[in-house]
Structures are given as C-alpha cells and as structure tokens.
Amino acid sequence: MSTVSAVLNSSNGSILNSNNSTTTCAIMCFNIGNQHCLSFNYHHMNGECQLNADSPYTKPSAVKEAADWAIYYLQKEDDWELVFRAHAYSNLSPYNVWMGTSLPLLPAEDECRLLTSTQCTTIYRNEVLDTWDSENITEVQLELYEDGNRVVYLRFDGVKSTKDNWFDANRLIDSSWSMMSINSEFNHFSILGMCQRTFYINKDFGGCVNDLGWMIIMDPLMSLCSCGYDNNHPGKPAFLYARGQTVTRWEHNEKANVDGGYRQMIDDDKQMVDDKTSKL
C-alpha cells in the first residue's frame, strides 16, 4: 500500500483499538469494502488505526500533517501514479533529475508525494522512470500547482512512449488551456527545449519582447538564453506558464512560485498501491 506521514480527516466512525498491525488494519478496511473504506490512518507508536471513507485521491484537502501517523491507501487500476515532482527555486535541475543524470543529495520528504502540499523542498523521482519502456503506460499528465492549487494540466497519450518522447504535441490529448490543441502552432514542444528553457512549449519568436508561448521551466544548470525573461527570476528552477486560455508574452509574464508534477496511468492490474501522480 502507499503511505504518507499525515492523517486524513475523513473517518467513517470505525476506530480500532491500540496494538494493531498495519496488516490488521488493511484487512479490516478491505473487508468493509471500497464504498465505505478507501484508506486508514495508522499511529506507529500505539497501533491505533482509523478507517476512512475517503482517500488522498478523493479528498486531498482533508490530508493534514501529523506526527507519528501515516495514511495507507490503495492505487486503483485506473488511477494515476506520481512519478515526479519538482519545486521552484530549489536550485536543482528538473531536467537532469528527470533524465537520471543527477539526483538530489537528500531523499524527498513524504510531503513531496502530495501535490497539494506546499512543504516539498526538493525533487521526488519515482524509480519507474528507469523502467518506463517496460511499463504498460497508457497516459501521462503534467500538472502545475501554485499555493497547493492546480493551475495547469496537460494530458498525453503514453502508449509506446519513452520518458524522452511523451512530451510531444502529436501525443497531446487534452489541456487546461482551451485555446491549445494538437492542431495549434508550436515552434518548440519538447522536454529538452533550448538552452535553459526545458519542458518548453512555445508558439512564436518575435525578438525576445514578442516571444509567445505556453510553458517553460527555466533550468538552473543548463546554458543561458539571452532574453530578459530568461534571467529575471528570484531563483531557479523557475516555472513560467500562460495564465489565461491562450499564449502569453514571456517578457510580460508573471513568474510564480510553482510546483510541477507528472503522473502516469499504468494499465496493469498488478499495480496495487502507490501515490496518485505524474506531473512536473
């Protein structure tokens, strides 16, 4: 089962006495059925568990940090699995960590596995990125969060994809930008992008002040581009995105303290437990 260090404030009224094991709690939850128990809170010190009618999937706003407690929950076959999360201004390279050429010095905090949490300070990388080609991935979704709220999503066809090529205009299924589609005009749409502009979706170059696009992650370790909007940030990585329904003019775009995450949907009935995610 998946677990995070927190509690979910959604008890269905069932509280088991102390000195239980996590296995006992899980069996009780399974026996009740998924209409009445989707997760349970477990206290590692006294063995108490609380059965929940919701899970971090169905009610993420109910997840609260709590010492000595953990939430256990199942991943369904058609749920998303979090494979990556990066945080603005961490001075870590999302591109290098995504590709596996470098890794953060410290492991990611549990909070990094909850996209609505604002307590993540590093990069979370799921080992499934290293076995991508052998996984039965059906869709990949990239999401941007600001102050714990999702502000952007893009959903891609993940069938027969690799961790290098899923981020492509020809694989685009849907996005939160109503004016973006597979038929939109792009002059860049790739993970590598150009110079420090990674996970880069751009429409048109007009001489820096007139450059138009949808999304950029300004990477701290890639070579610099020369426009003012490439370098006018309090730190990096910097996540830039179009805040309306169409492209933004990068020179005038507001820079945001954004978290990015990637999720993937795995069509595999052996995937019993893991966190919901696949964003950048």
**Calpha distance 54→76 (Å, rounded):** 13
Is the domain 2-73 a CATH 3.50.4 member?
yes
Residue-by-residue pLDDT tens, the chain, 280 positions: 556 566 677 555 466 667 788 888 888 887 876 667 888 888 888 888 888 888 876 777 778 878 888 888 765 545 678 899 998 889 999 999 999 999 887 888 877 877 777 888 889 998 889 999 988 889 999 999 888 888 999 999 999 999 999 999 999 999 999 999 988 999 999 999 999 999 999 999 999 999 999 999 999 988 888 899 998 888 899 999 998 899 999 988 654 455 555 555 543 322 222 222 233 3
pTM: 0.69
Each domain of the chain, given as residue ranges in start order, spans 2-73, 77-280
> What pLDDT does residue 192 have?
96
On whether the CB atoms of residues 93 and 223 are closer than 8 A, the answer is: no
- The β-bridge relationship of strands 7-8 and 49-52 is unpaired
**Calpha distance 197→168 (Å, rounded):** 15
On whether the CB atoms of residues 80 and 265 are closer than 8 A, the answer is: yes
**Calpha distance 197→211 (Å, rounded):** 13
**Calpha distance 96→9 (Å, rounded):** 37
Spatial CA neighbour of 126 closest among 116, 117, 118, 137: 137
